[in-house]
Amino acid sequence: MGSNIPIFISSGIILHHYKKHYSDTKLTPLEKIIQFNDIDNHETWALFFAGIAIGMKINKAMLDAKRNKSE
């Protein structure tokens, strides 16, 4: 469960960003989720927490494999 917390935080940031730009007709649906030309605040934190989640999942998988191998 602990390794899912950064995924929830990242998803919340992305949903907040989408809600913030939902009514902006100048942006495409993808740009409403993440703006590549202005990747400074929301996007950086979302990517940061997504990276932490990926790292935690990889670490857990490696530890589980190591534990199963020694049994």
Say which DSSP state 41 is in.
S
Please determine, for residue 37, whether its predicted confidence score (pLDDT) is greater than 80. no
Residue 71 carries which side chain, given as an amino acid letter? E
pTM: 0.59
Contact 56, 2 (CB under 8 A): yes
Mean pLDDT for the stretch of residues 37-41: 65
Say which DSSP state 50 is in.
H
Encode pLDDT of 41-69 as tens digits.
666 777 788 888 888 888 888 888 888 88
